[in-house]
Structure 1
Amino acid sequence: MDTTRRGFLGAIGKVTIGAAASVAGASQVAEAAQTDTPTAVPHWGMVVDLRKCIGCQACTVACIMENDVPQDAFRTHVSVYELVKDGQDPAMVMLPRLCNHCDDPPCLPVCPVEATFKIDSGEVLVDASKCVGCGYCVQACPYDARFINHETQVADKCTFCFHRTQAGLLPACVETCVGGARNFGDLNDPESEVSKMLAHNEVSVLRPEMHTNPNVYYIGLDDVLDGRVAGEAAYHSEMADSVSSHEEGL
């Protein structure tokens, strides 16, 4: 984790970007993306090492607290499945999920007011001042990663913690991952930790048949899970719900 943090901070030192925003969709995000001129633009991505994920949901809670996510909504969470294969004992497997910040995001062209946009450093963001809450982007996302915020009535999603990365910090979910399963950095930098992980490990993506060119990669993803992007999160605000909804069978 420390190596990832050092690499990330090194990449941040090469970038000069001004105003940041605290939530997805704030108009300042669009202004920062459109008016500032970076000297060396990174391309942010995440590598999730499923061999290290223990399903503790620290990432889920950290994201909720950091981004003021409303109750019963998630920008990221960890789905828990019971995987059963012939001749093997059942196994509990974890699948952290979030916006994949695709290079070819299907949510972007369906937005009738151009509220969804992608910036040079790779993040797919939402300008809340434009969003009309039509939900077209929610339906278009093949990763079930968007929702209409019932408090703001606009589209909401993971931003890779844009406001934190612009301040030289890691996304909240990465910072709090106790097992070091989530790794974040510059995919354009061959010396970054995430680039080295991609180079030295067999990696997979969710819904590869959609050809969205996602920027979230998985190490140790079982083939049967690459299409499992829908369903309830294992984390719930009430303990009773958490116990009753903990497992999803395959």
Structure 2
Amino acid sequence: MKLSRRHFLAGGAACAAIPVATLVTAEEEKTGKNLALVFDQTKCIGCEACSQACREANNVPAQVSRLNIVREGPYGEGNDKHYRFDRQSCVHCETAPCIAVCPTGACFRDEDGVVDVTANRCVGCQYCIAACPYRVRYVDPETKAVDKCDLCRKTRLKEGKLPACVEACPTQAVVFGDLNDPKSDVAKLLRAKQTYRDKVSLGTKPKLYKVPHGKGKVI
């Protein structure tokens, strides 16, 4: 069928008259969460309650760990002697190298911004372990699949609870929330405190923010 110039222009005008809102897909209209953590080094006392709670909540085998608290120091002398505690766990990159290199799609980001691994799709190639600049992934000795912190996505989050590390911390050194919600605890803290993130120069956009210790040095 031959389409005349007059009919073509008429059709184009009809499309232009369609309200913009009707051209937006349901997926584009959906506003998911953007979950993140803030670790306050000024409050951490190195008790490792967070690590133990993580292990229990997620059945992490004894040989490996999703979350480690690293002690540095001592700094200073006499009454000023002190240690600096840092958290090592998945930072849930917005631009995640692990997802980019995974050949099977086992590594993925969910609708709330949590980077996770589908164990039964993992073939154990360990490309993601090599690609992760934060060195926080491991091979589960029981499932033989790669694993790491998933913010308790498959355990506590699905039940509407906070991640185990957040709830277990006796000094409230770990804060969790939605970056997209200006009223969330994590968003409020980021507005109130000076923070930093590890290895931002790599362009990974990590979502583990840290309040610097104030003593010693920030790496």
The SS at the match of 2:51 is helix
Please state which structure has a larger fraction of its residues in helix. Answer: 2
Give the aligned partner of residue 209 of structure 1.
201
Distance 2:96 2:137 in 1: 12
Distance 2:134 2:76 in 1: 25
Distance 1:53 1:133 in 2: 35
Unaligned runs of 5+ in 2: 1-28
Aligned match of 1:177 in 169, 175, 179?
A: 169
Q: Is the 8 A contact 1:170 1:184 kept in 2?
A: yes
The alignment yields a C-alpha RMSD, in angstroms, of 2.3
Aligned match of 2:82 in 74, 91, 94?
A: 91
Give the aligned partner of residue 118 of structure 1.
109
Q: Aligned ranges for residues 45-56 of structure 1 at < 5 Å?
A: 45-56=36-47
Amino acid at match of 1:135: Q
Superimposed CA distance per residue, residues 75-107 of structure 1 (whole angstroms, 9 cap, x where no aligned partner)? 011011115479x96531100121000100111
Percent identity reads: 38
Give the aligned partner of residue 61 of structure 1.
52
Unaligned runs of 5+ in 1: 1-37, 227-250
TM-score, scaled relative to structure 2: 0.80
Give the aligned partner of residue 139 of structure 1.
130
Instruction: State the structure with more CA Rg.
Output: 2
Give the aligned partner of residue 103 of structure 1.
94
Q: Is the 8 A contact 2:166 2:175 kept in 1?
A: yes
Give the aligned partner of residue 186 of structure 1.
178
The SS at the match of 2:71 is strand
Distance 2:126 2:81 in 1: 38
Residue-pair matches, total: 190
TM-score, scaled relative to structure 1: 0.71
Distance 1:147 1:225, change over 3 A: farther
Distance 1:79 1:165 in 2: 26
Distance 1:93 1:108, change over 3 A: same
Q: Is the 8 A contact 1:204 1:221 kept in 2?
A: no
